[in-house]
Structures are given as structure tokens and as C-alpha cells.
């Protein structure tokens, strides 16, 4: 009950803050993934490419915002660890409060500077230039990566999935040396 109350207050403050400061040059845009439309595709990808090997992988949501994808994955899957990385102070705090009862770790860090554990499964809805920096710093090595809308500039995905009825795409990359 208390968690819900705190979560609700944090969300309300975040919404007011977002509406008030959304044009400020130092803000980073927050647009949530529509979990209901990506979920069936995520499930198919995970069952086909990771299957029963989830315990060998660390899950990262890059730029997790309020963390609804992170919490969905932690609830329905069995990864070794579940991490959400978020740079924006407000979204980081909202995510931490909303996720406090789940086995997830929320970290306030720039995704382009973080040191990742591999092998990993990554989910991100981030701008191409940020994705390219993570890729160039070897962040995605030996990992499976699913990206909503934006792909890594200059790197061909294994598969691009058209999300039915949404004009959106999921880009799948497999940088693993050993496949499941």
C-alpha cells in the first residue's frame, strides 16, 4: 500500500516536472514503449534465441524510464540479473520506487559509459547515436539485442520485425559467438 502511494506521488511529481520542463535543453526525452504491442514479439524472440538458457544471461534495459519493460521481464523471465539504466534523475527515482518489490537493480548511469556483464540480453528504445556509442564501446559484445524503432547506424540487424498495426519496428541483433 505504502509502495503504491509513494509510487503514485513520485509519478505525479514526474509528470508535472515532465510537462513543465520538457523543452529544457538538458532534458532527455522519455517516450515509453507500448508493452502490449511489443510483448508477443519479445516473447517469440526470447523463446527462439535464448530459450531455457536465461540463467546464463544478464538482462539490461538501456534508458529504462519508469521501468515497465524491466519489471515485465523480471516478472515473466528468469535472467541471472535484471538491470535498468537511466540517466534522468526523475525517471531513475520513479523507476526505483515502482520496482522496489521486484528483483531488479536500477542504476543511474549513462548507458554509453557503463561496463556491462556478458552474455546479456539488451532491450532499448534509444536514439541511434547513443546506440552506436554503446556498440562502438563493445557494450553489446556476445549479446542478444532488441531495439525498438531505432537501429544501430551502419550495422545490419539479423532481423527487423514489423509490429503489426503500429508502423513500428523491432530490430534484432545477435552478437553472440555461440548461439543457443
Ligand X SMILES: C[S@@+](CC[C@H](N)C(=O)[O-])C[C@H]1O[C@@H](n2cnc3c(N)ncnc32)[C@H](O)[C@@H]1O
Rounded Cα distance, 7 and 99, in Å: 9
Q: Candidates 15-23, 79-87, 154-162, 171-179 — which segment interacts with ligand X by CB under 6 A?
A: 79-87
- Give the residue from 50, 62, 44 showing the smallest Cα distance to 140: 62
Q: Is 139 in the site for ligand X (CB under 6 A)?
A: no
Q: Is 150 in the site for ligand X (CB under 6 A)?
A: no
The enclosing H or E element of 136 equals helix 128-136
Minimum distance of ligand X from residue 152's CB (angstroms): 15
> Quick one: residue 142, left, alpha or beta (phi over 0 = left, psi -120 to 50 = alpha)?
left
Choose between 61 and 97: whose C-beta lies nearer to ligand X: 61
Minimum distance of ligand X from residue 17's CB (angstroms): 12
Q: Candidates 14-22, 52-60, 123-131, 172-180 — which segment interacts with ligand X by CB under 6 A?
A: 123-131
Kindly list the distances between the CA atom of residue 28 and the CA atoms of 78, 99, 130, 168, in Å, as whole numbers in the listed order.
30, 21, 12, 21
Minimum distance of ligand X from residue 1's CB (angstroms): 26
Q: Is 83 in the site for ligand X (CB under 6 A)?
A: no
DSSP character at residue 137: T
Choose between 87 and 180: whose C-beta lies nearer to ligand X: 87
Among 1, 5, 19, 31, binds ligand X (CB under 6 A): 31
Choose between 30 and 169: whose C-beta lies nearer to ligand X: 30
Binding residue count for ligand X, defined by CB under 6 A = 22
What is the three-class DSSP state of 170? Answer: strand
Pull the grid cell for residue 57: 544471461
Q: At what angle do helices 68-76 and 35-49 cross, to 10 degrees?
A: 40
Residues lying near ligand X in the complex (CB under 6 A) are found at 28-33, 61, 63-65, 69, 85-88, 91, 110-112, 125-126, 130
Amino acid at each position: 500500500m505504502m509502495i503504491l502511494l509513494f509510487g503514485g506521488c513520485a509519478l505525479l511529481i514526474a509528470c508535472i516536472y515532465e510537462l513543465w520542463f520538457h523543452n529544457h535543453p538538458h532534458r532527455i526525452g522519455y517516450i515509453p514503449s507500448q508493452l502490449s504491442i511489443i510483448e508477443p514479439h519479445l516473447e517469440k524472440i526470447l523463446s527462439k534465441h535464448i530459450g531455457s538458457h536465461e540463467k546464463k544471461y544478464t538482462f539490461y534495459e538501456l534508458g529504462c524510464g519508469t521501468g515497465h519493460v524491466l519489471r515485465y521481464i523480471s516478472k515473466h523471465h528468469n535472467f541471472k540479473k535484471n538491470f535498468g539504466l537511466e540517466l534522468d534523475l526523475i525517471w531513475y527515482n520513479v523507476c526505483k520506487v515502482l520496482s522496489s518489490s521486484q528483483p531488479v537493480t536500477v542504476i543511474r548511469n549513462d548507458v554509453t559509459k557503463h561496463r556491462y556483464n556478458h552474455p546479456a540480453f539488451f532491450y532499448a528504445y534509444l536514439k541511434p547515436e547513443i546506440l552506436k556509442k554503446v556498440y562502438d564501446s563493445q557494450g553489446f559484445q556476445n549479446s542478444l539485442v532488441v531495439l525498438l524503432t531505432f537501429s544501430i547506424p551502419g550495422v545490419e540487424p539479423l532481423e527487423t520485425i514489423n509490429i503489426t498495426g503500429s508502423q513500428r519496428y523491432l530490430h534484432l541483433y545477435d552478437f553472440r559467438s555461440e548461439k543457443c
